[in-house]
Amino acid sequence: MVILEGLLTLYSPALRGRYHLTVYLDPEEELRREWKVKRDVAKRGYTPEEVLADIERRMPDSKAFIWPQKEHADIVVRFYRPLGYDPENPSTLNVRITLKHTLPRLDLSEVLHSAYEDEALIRLETRREADILDITGNVTPEQAQTFERIIWEHLGPHAEHFDPSLVGTFWDKAGQSYPLALTQLIIAYYLVKMRELAIERGHLRVA
């Protein structure tokens, strides 16, 4: 399996036609800036002012070349802040996952049933071209664990390639998030599923 990551991986039509699965990360703009400042200050030695100035300098290119790529993704992941969001507690972030109908459907009926009493915590909306899955940062542990169990079961023997202790963990090891964990597991499921389908259809050969 080959995974490509970068700002322009969906820009070229020739490249897009070669992928079995495409994912676009589309965080809320203020959140995106917050993340970039935090990363570049901690890992690259910049000041917050330098990072923000660089963001503004690159904004025309972002709008022209990066943001439009979202339309070509099978999965769009948008983390966004709830009311009263505390940057020191990122585990409370909500996530909206857009799953295009070009993908096989993932049966979430058990998860949605468990969330029925408080359906605002996990909500699935079916639209013409995609399913929209919203998971709030205050999803209960029971609902999150039900969701996780279903994905792990779908992964089957492939689950051994994933470390459960790392799922939902922030890069700086500052905590864990149920919405992040569930997002990672959904992407892992579709990586495995689309690989299997490509093999079945003869689009991918395995030695």
Output the pLDDT for position 113.
65
Q: How far apart are CA 193 and CA 159, in angstroms?
A: 12
Indicate the pairing of strand 23-25 with strand 75-80.
parallel
Segment 156-161 shows an average pLDDT of: 87
Give me the percent of the chain exceeding a pLDDT of 90: 61
Q: What is the DSSP string of 72-99?
A: G-SEEEEEEPPTT--TT-GGG-EEEEEE
Whether residue 121 has pLDDT greater than 60: yes
Residue 34 pLDDT level (bands cut at 50, 70, 90): very high
Output the pLDDT for position 172.
65
Tokens of 171: 């890069």
How does pLDDT run across 42-97, given as a tens digit for each residue? 999 999 999 999 999 999 999 999 999 999 999 999 999 999 998 888 899 999 99
Q: How far apart are CA 155 and CA 7, in angstroms?
A: 28
Tokens of 110: 């058990």
Helix (H, G, I), strand (E, B), or coil: what is residue 103?
A: coil
Whether residue 117 has pLDDT greater than 80: no
Q: How far apart are CA 104 and CA 113, in angstroms?
A: 21
Output the pLDDT for position 136.
93
Segment 161-185 shows an average pLDDT of: 85
Whether residue 203 has pLDDT greater than 90: no
Q: Where are the strands (E) in the chain, listed by range? A: 23-25, 75-80, 94-100, 122-126, 130-135
Output the pLDDT for position 50.
97
Segment 96-115 shows an average pLDDT of: 84
Output the pLDDT for position 120.
67
Residue 207 pLDDT level (bands cut at 50, 70, 90): low
| pTM score, whole prediction | 0.90
Sequence ranges of the domains in the chain: 13-196
Residue 16 pLDDT level (bands cut at 50, 70, 90): very high
| Residue, of 111 and 42, whose pLDDT is higher | 42
Give me the percent of the chain exceeding a pLDDT of 70: 94
How does pLDDT run across 80-95, given as a tens digit for each residue? 999 999 888 889 999 9
